[in-house]
Structure 1
Amino acid sequence: MAFTPADQRELYLPLIEGIHETPPFGLFMRNLVARTGARRAFLILTLANAAPEQEPVVIPVSAPRAAQEPPLDFRRLAALGLHQHRALRPGRVYALDEMLDYDDPAQLARQRDALEDMGIRHARWLRVSAGGAADAWLVLVRLREDFSASAVSLLSDIAPHLASALRTLVALIGQRLQTGLAQSALERLGIGQIALDAEGRVMAADALAESVLTFLPEPSQRAGRRLQLLPDVERQLENACATLAAGNGPPVCVLPVDPRRHINLLLRRADLRLDDPAALPAVVGLLRLDRREDHAAGASTLQALHGLSAQEAALAHALSRGEPLVEAGLALGLTAETARNYSKRIYSKTGTSGQADLVRLVFSGLAPFS
């Protein structure tokens, strides 16, 4: 079937753009319900590597004439013993009769009664797969009349495009997971980052930088934002970005973006490796807040890494925060003499030569990520 302008406008473009919606494909589902004459529908999305207890994403949609009716209950449908969703052949449209259990008359009667109670007399099922990484099940129902041949044909035609969109969504979810992992680790260290072009425009910023810095829309028609800075600091930023991008001068520059809050920005020439197509930043700006890991979690990590006792680990973590030995020991209920004995055992077990060396070991290890 040839694509019509209405198909492109109402289905295919919303399908492509729907990967960025939360939850995804909402507009596509609403338009599909309207185009097929469905009364109610839902789309279930499951990821292959999701935890067993993780709920699938369910996007329910109702036509305006069914706005006052409850959405389709996918769990109740699943409990009816219909044809197993995972056994459906991807890309094929199934009618309601194909889902019923005709081998067991009693079961068939229960299924029909429950479907009637749910206002389902006609339905279509469609499964799409993203190469084993994810699956989606589309269910559309009607009450009075069955779906037209053109509606079923439309579902068949849309199946490969929905599968392609699902694969794209899975790839995007993977990228989001990678980004989330990196940002989570950096946030635990109190680190925020921004990407800048050679003229000092902000191309991107992570969540911590967004929460700490203030951004203004770029006044010109060019893409990007600007940091809200004092005029003199803004000129320093622009000059530093131009110098670093050109490879001239020192390899880094420190810019006091907010002296009142003691926020400085370390600027360095960007060395990111991104797949094409990509707009490469010229400069990366990094800020760091005074943030340390939870004391109990940090001590537990040191205990596991270096074979310390619980008290030794707690004292070692306190020393890594710069606390004096005697005061740190007293806070843990240790006498001064016991604290000194503990410190000797800590230095021996960790292979360090004193508190300064212990601080180095802790900061360069796993404890700050606890």
Structure 2
Amino acid sequence: MALSQTDETELLVPLHAGVTEEPRWQTFLRRMQRRLLADHVAIIIGLDGVSIRSASMWVAGRDYRFEEEKFARLATLDPTPFHRLRPERVYTMAEFLQPGDHEHDTYRREYLEPLAVGHARLMRVKGPRRSNLWFTAVRGGSDFSATDGALISSLAPHLGVALRSLAHIEQLVLASTMQADVLRRAGLGWTVLDAHSEELATSGSGLEDPTAFASMRIEPPEWRPATMPPPAAMQLVSDPPSAGTAAATALCESYELTAQEARLALALAAGRSVVEAAEALSLSLESARTYLKRIFAKTGTHGQVDLVRLILTGPERLA
């Protein structure tokens, strides 16, 4: 079945835009529910080898998940072989329920009928990295028509594009999140500016007391942004680890420092002199110098500069 011009506007546009909608695909699902006269429609996304009960689901209409708690044991009798469905083929619920099979009859009588689930259509679409998308539609009254099934089937390639788009977005978000976490742990951050010093992007590293320490020009990238001015400069900021962070615990564990020794070492790494660090930690200068000698011995460093280098470049900074 070829999609009509109306279908392309009413269904395909919200399907592809729904990847960034919150909750995802709500407009598309609501329109599909009306189009199919369904009680429930859903997009389910999960991985090969992982139970469908653990998959992500977006729903329009009746959400059976809130009622399944009453039938938790019976839900496990669901005979639908979700992960073995042939991709892009539309299945009916009746294909999985064999009359005379005790478990299937129990599932129908004690689970589907109380939930008023009479008929269903189900289609699976394969995606990247072991991902799957299932589209489901459920009715409690009359069965779906052949036209309904053909409409669902015609959406298969577009659901595949939506799944691949979501996978790409999630990969970018994961990479961005991990990069931001590493920068935050290292006490570093960046901001990209345009030629008018307007902010275009930032690492969002969540630094508590950032201090700008370098600015540099950015050569025009090979790709030109289409939705923003080209980047012109990058500003780097730093927030050295403080005595109140997990870095202190990491130093204690790595070099067998006492808590006070770790706090002193981190104060020096933050740029304070021995005098300033002693005052901040309520230590006498003599005590601070004694602690410092012990720190040098335990860390194998040969002076304050060497100690600061160790802290700012070692893995403890990422604690």
> In which range does the TM-score fall when normalised by the shorter chain?
0.7 to 0.9
Q: In the alignment, does 2:285 pair up with 1:288?
A: no
Work out which of the residue numbers 124, 129, 151 in structure 1 matches 2:126: 129
Distance in 1 (CA, whole Å) between partners of 2:214 and 2:49 is 38
| C-alpha deviation, 1:350, in angstroms | 3.0
Distance 1:41 1:78, change over 3 A: farther
Aligned with 1:308 (options 227, 240, 256): 256
Structure 2: where are the runs of 5+ without partners?
Answer: none
Q: Is the 8 A contact 1:325 1:340 kept in 2?
A: no
Name the Cα RMSD after superposition: 3.9
Is the contact between residue 315 and residue 329 of structure 1 (CA under 8 Å) also seen in structure 2? no
Q: CA deviation at 1:123?
A: 0.7
Cα gap change, 1:270/1:320 in structure 2, threshold over 3 Å: closer, same or farther? same
1:7-22 to structure 2, matched below 5 A, reads 7-22=7-22
C-alpha distance in structure 1 between counterparts of 2:98 and 2:258, whole Å: 61
In structure 2, C-alpha distance between the alignment counterparts of 1:46 and 1:130, rounded to whole Å: 10
CA offsets 1:135-163 (integer angstroms, 9 cap, x no match): 22222101111111111001111112101
Map of 2:6 onto structure 1: 6
**Alignment match, 1:27:** 27
Deviation at 1:201, TM superposition (A): 4.6
Out of 132, 140, 144, the residue aligned to residue 143 of structure 1 is: 140
Per chain length, whose mean CA-contact separation is higher, i.e. which structure has more relative contact order (CA < 8 Å, sep 6+)? 2
| Change in 2 beyond 3 A, CA 1:87/1:293 | farther
Q: Determine helix, strand or coil for the equivalent of 2:125.
A: strand
TM-score scaled by structure 2? 0.78
Cα deviations by residue, 1:68-109 (Å, 9 ceiling, x for unpaired): xx5222855842322232222222211111232546225423
Letter in 1 for 2:106: A
Q: Which amino acid aligns with 1:284?
A: A
> Residue 289 and residue 342 in structure 1: after superposition, are their counterparts in 2 closer, same or farther (change >3 A)?
closer
Residues paired across the two proteins, number: 308
In structure 1, the partner of 2:46 is: 46
Structure 1 CA distance, aligned partners of 2:177 and 2:84?
Answer: 34
- Give 1:85's aligned residue: 82
Instruction: With the length of structure 1 as denominator, give the TM-score of the two structures.
Output: 0.69
1:194-343 superposed matches below 5 A: 194-196=192-194, 198-207=195-204, 266-271=214-219, 276=223, 278=225, 281-286=230-235, 288=237, 290=239, 292-293=241-242, 295=244, 297-303=246-252, 305=254, 307-311=255-259, 313=262, 315-321=264-270, 322=272, 324=274, 343=292
For 1:146, the aligned partner's letter is D
What letter is aligned with 2:119? H
Q: 1:318 to 1:308 in 2, by over 3 A?
A: farther
* Alpha carbons 1:194, 1:286 under 8 Å: kept: yes
Where does the alignment leave 5 or more consecutive residues of structure 1 unmatched? 63-69, 213-260
